[in-house]
Structure 1
Amino acid sequence: MTARFGYTLMTEQSGPRELVRYAVEAEAAGFDFEVSSDHFTPWLTSQGHSPHAWTMLGAAANATSTVELMTYVTCPTMRYHPAIVAQMSATLQLLSDGRFTLGLGSGENLNEHVIGEGWPSVQVRQLMLQEAIHIIRQLHTGELITWEGDYFRVDSARIWDVPEQGVPIAVAVSGDSSIDKFGDLADHLIAVQPAGDLITGWEQTHGAGSRKIGQMPISWDPDEKTAIERAHDQFRWFGGGWTVNADLPTPAGFEGASQFVRLDDIAEAMPCGPDLDKIAEGVQEYLEAGFTDVALVQVGDEAQARFLDEAARPLLERLRSL
């Protein structure tokens, strides 16, 4: 399978109109696919944005023509009922003429606590996600569905506009336990670390034909110091790992948890500056681990236009030569 490279529409750092513009520019630059985060709240207040991902993706589907689109990721258990996710994803698949993949995960407290229902344990969150995927799958058949489960009820529901090709589902996994839970339910894998054992475990359960979709942050800028400072200002939350990131409830919590992250820590954690070969080296780790797709996250709204105009094309040439 030929490796494919994506661009991240990061809703936490850009407004909706800007994101649609970046979607168009990323398609023109040659990216194979585009993934969108789906947040109610930014990780840090310095990021300053959090528009509705699905509304933005509908506009992006209309503004683009060939690039694939994907949520990375939507939590279909609290802020959204799975029946609503089934309807939204079916509609977006139709609007995009079959270019959409539904990326799902068990969510973060940061986004889901806003509905006032508390934050379940990780074991419960994964069971909820399992049940939600079953509901989404059934509703995507276009049949009339009634569901009485442990966590959700669906009463005489039908998706009336269903794409003939269906909606592929990718699920975020982090280890053997989540692979066991979701390997048979999902079409594709999502993960944010270049862990080869994760890919091996997934393929033992799911076979080798599925996509394995990773994501890597970068802070490209002609000036390395500017790139590091921008990444520290807006992306230092990333260093806590998902065990921490899933449970903190507010940007203030992430401010506190990341207050001792140093500029040097950021420079070691992600490629910063103008060196495209350094970015390619980071992507190579994902490819060597067995990932088929890697989406890049360019840090900072103010850096997007210049990255897409000056760096994206030569970077993609390097990545496709790996």
Structure 2
Amino acid sequence: MTTFGYFLACEEFTPGQLLEQSRRAVDAGFTRLAISDHFHPWNDAQGNSPLVWSMIGALSQTVDLPVTTLVTCPTMRLHPAVTAQAAATSSRLLDGGFALGVGTGEALNEHILGDRWPSFDERAEMLEEAVQVMRALFTGRQVSHRGRHYTVENARLYTAPHGRLPIHVSGFGSKAAELAGRIGDGFVTMGPDQEAIGRFRDAGGEGKPVIGGLKVCWDADREKAVNTAHRLWPSEHLPGELAQILPTPAHFEQASRLVTRDRVSESVPCGDDVEEHVAAVRAYIDAGFEEVYIGQIGPDQSAFFDAYRDKILPALT
């Protein structure tokens, strides 16, 4: 059975707005939350980037919903041992209702310390070792590790998770899907890509959850909704590896000039057509997703939550 959550976009909203959205999500009938982890927004129009770990602490005191990071990168900006401590504390604050979604990251966020930005194959290797380190630390035992990418000496999480803390691995493309199947407790992928899900299953993901999400822009004026989505989230429609290798919001703004308004109109559920929104979410259900997170683009959050409470979620459940 598919469950539906609300996606909190740290790139677009202030901490206070995110907390208010979490409360509205509960009232609208969403049963889970996902939250992004960014140091920079994708462009200056989005204009925010609060620290995800502070936000999770605040969410634990605001609402009683499970929270998943979609996704954090535990390899460069934060060492996996530090990420493990943050994740373990989050799990305890949420009474075990925390899942750590991880990925190989984007240069946009991870290059800020001046490190070389590796190729995907090297980043995937780093992620696999990071997951190994974090799982060892989650046991609460003392850990020493000397690997190709990371060294850990005499580290112990005294505030360890209660029980197993799931690590879901994000993937775009065949190699990442296979890595998720091999090392992940679940697979994070943002589109209902049956081929990627199949590769995940074949690589060891059978019986593990598939998690994903989509952004929408609910508005009574469809043209206004398309304009909002095109202004704030054109980066979602960039081809290939651009989203992983461009280093600054300014570079994304330059590349996003290639993204047409028509492309956004065709790809993003915009406006107040209930059937369009229902069909977009149902594609994930039909693809076998266990968790689907929906995020509203733009400032008109109230109309979105009202519509999803009264029309969209009832049609899906």
d(CA) in 1 for partners of 2:274, 2:100: 30
Secondary structure, counterpart of 1:258 in structure 2: helix
Contact 2:5 2:291 in 1 (8 A): yes
How far the C-alpha of 1:248 sits from its partner, in A, is 0.6
For structure 1, which segment, 34-43 or 253-262, has the greater mean C-alpha deviation from structure 2 after superposition? 253-262
How far the C-alpha of 1:261 sits from its partner, in A, is 2.3
- In angstroms, what is the RMSD of aligned CA positions? 1.3
Q: Paired residue for 2:176?
A: 178
How far the C-alpha of 1:205 sits from its partner, in A, is 2.7
Contact 1:90 1:166 in 2 (8 A): no
Q: Residues 249-286 of structure 1: CA distance to partner in whole angstroms, max 9, x if unpaired?
A: 11111111111322222111111001121011112222
Q: Paired residue for 1:26?
A: 25
Q: Paired residue for 1:39?
A: 38
Contact 1:5 1:31 in 2 (8 A): yes
d(CA) in 1 for partners of 2:109, 2:205: 33
Q: Paired residue for 2:305?
A: 308
Secondary structure, counterpart of 2:224 in structure 1: helix
Structure 1 counterpart of 2:273, one-letter code = D
Which segments of 5 or more consecutive residues in structure 1 lack a partner in the other structure? none
Secondary structure, counterpart of 2:242 in structure 1: helix
Q: Does 1:99 align with 2:97?
A: yes
Q: Paired residue for 1:267?
A: 265
d(CA) in 1 for partners of 2:302, 2:122: 41
For structure 1, which segment, 200-209 or 237-246, has the greater mean C-alpha deviation from structure 2 after superposition? 200-209
Contact 1:106 1:129 in 2 (8 A): yes
Closer, same or farther: CA 88–127 of 1 in aligned 2, 3 Å: same
Contact 1:30 1:313 in 2 (8 A): no
Secondary structure, counterpart of 1:102 in structure 2: strand
Q: Paired residue for 1:50?
A: 49
Structure 2 counterpart of 1:314, one-letter code = K
Structure 1's consecutive aligned runs of 4 or more residues displaced over 4 angstroms after TM superposition are none
TM-score by length of 1: 0.95
Structure 2 counterpart of 1:307, one-letter code = F
For structure 1, which segment, 5-14 or 202-211, has the greater mean C-alpha deviation from structure 2 after superposition? 202-211
Q: Does 1:131 align with 2:129?
A: yes
d(CA) in 2 for partners of 1:129, 1:45: 29
How far the C-alpha of 1:305 sits from its partner, in A, is 3.0
d(CA) in 2 for partners of 1:289, 1:35: 20
Q: Does 1:147 align with 2:145?
A: yes
How far the C-alpha of 1:310 sits from its partner, in A, is 4.0
Contact 2:178 2:199 in 1 (8 A): no
Q: Paired residue for 1:59?
A: 58
d(CA) in 2 for partners of 1:161, 1:106: 26
Number of residue pairs aligned between Structure 1 and Structure 2: 317
Give matches, 1:1-322, under 5 Å: 2-65=1-64, 67-241=65-239, 243-300=241-298, 302-320=299-317
Structure 2 counterpart of 1:304, one-letter code = Q
How far the C-alpha of 1:242 sits from its partner, in A, is 5.5
Q: Residues 171-227 of structure 1: CA distance to partner in whole angstroms, max 9, x if unpaired?
A: 002233223333232111000121112222222233532110111111111111110
Q: Residues 218-255 of structure 1: CA distance to partner in whole angstroms, max 9, x if unpaired?
A: 11111111101100110111111451101111111111
d(CA) in 2 for partners of 1:264, 1:53: 33
Structure 1 counterpart of 2:312, one-letter code = L
For structure 1, which segment, 145-154 or 206-215, has the greater mean C-alpha deviation from structure 2 after superposition? 206-215
Contact 1:61 1:96 in 2 (8 A): yes
Which segments of 5 or more consecutive residues in structure 2 lack a partner in the other structure? none
